[in-house]
Amino acid sequence: MAQAVQPKSTVLITGASSGIGATYADRFAKRGHNLVLVARDAARLNALATRLRTATGVKVDVLPTDLSVTADLAKVEKRLRDDAAIGILVNNAGMAAPGGFADGDPDIMEALIKVNVTAVTRLAAAAVKRFLAQGKGDIINIASVLGLAPEIGLGAYSASKSFVLTLSQSLNAELGSRGLYVQAVLPAATRTEIWERSGRDVNKLAGVMDVGELVDAALAGFDRRETVTIPPLPDAAQWEAFNAARQAMLPNFANERAAPRYRAAS
């Protein structure tokens, strides 16, 4: 007797109404995954859901949600905790801010941190508890190359993406041996609406990647089970050398004495 085919994991995607999130929804639907789509714009979510249901036949639920609002975020956390079909979380929702740090609005920075840091953390935490109980689960966190480039003066945004990268690496180190896989995706400039919302003209930028190419590259890294995927980086050895240099420092962090270069000559 032939074995029954196991249904594919449902994928919950935040920031799914446009751009990277909507493209992930399209790609996972074409792979046969049911979807839970999360974003603020209910009309666009419903239009996308209708299109994907018609085109692919998958089940698509929508959760109109503002992840900067605690009560809304709690609804998505609950869905992740309670829905045993969800096996993949795509933490894509993000917020940018105009200008650098010195001329930035602290209220906008706080809102950015709520979406880019707090929501990512809380949703991952909600998913991880159930994934561990089930012995498997995947998390895709959308970071940015700016998390590796503090010289590019985007202040809190770059710092938030550095957090997402480090969180992803830390989760893999802690939970990888227990059946979980976490991928950090580091896009460079990508043609999405985030530029317009942050007061920038994407058409004046050089080297902007098409969103479809970005997501397809990220999914190639996902299929290979990469911990860190950097779609615009041609030479993987550069990342490997960077990461090896970081790891080479680790034994020194346990030194009981300050390095000689910091001690006054006697």
The per-residue pLDDT for 194 is: 59
pLDDT digits (tens, 9 = 90+) for 137-156: 999 999 999 999 988 868 89
The count of other CB atoms within 10 Å of the CB of residue 101 is 15
pLDDT digits (tens, 9 = 90+) for 41-56: 999 999 999 999 999 9
Quick one: average pLDDT of 85-92?
Answer: 98
Length reported for the chain: 266
Nearest by Cα to 187 from 25, 16, 20? 20
Q: Give me the residue spans of the domains in the chain.
A: 10-235
Per-residue DSSP letter, 103: T
The per-residue pLDDT for 265 is: 67
Quick one: average pLDDT of 195-212?
Answer: 67
Beta bridge partner(s), residue 62: 37
157 classed as catalytic: yes
- Residue 192 near residue 94 (C-beta atoms within 8 A): no
Per-residue DSSP letter, 225: T
Q: Which CATH architecture has domain 10-235?
A: 3-Layer(aba) Sandwich (3.40)
The catalytically annotated residue of 24, 157, 181, 262 is 157
Mapped onto helix, strand or coil, the DSSP state of residue 194 is helix
- Residue 123 near residue 92 (C-beta atoms within 8 A): no
The per-residue pLDDT for 199 is: 53
Structure tokens at 176: 């990888």
Quick one: average pLDDT of 158-167?
Answer: 96
- Looking at this protein, which amino acid is placed at residue 122? R
pLDDT digits (tens, 9 = 90+) for 24-81: 999 999 999 999 999 999 999 999 999 999 999 999 999 999 999 999 999 999 999 9
Nearest by Cα to 186 from 118, 126, 154, 233? 233
DSSP string, 18-79: SHHHHHHHHHHHHTT--EEEEES-HHHHHHHHHHHHHHH---EEEEE--TTSHHHHHHHHHH
Structure tokens at 20: 């990277």
Burial of 10 (0-12, 13-18, 19+ CB in 10 A): buried
> What element of type H or E holds 260?
none
> What element of type H or E holds 265?
none
Structure tokens at 164: 């997402």
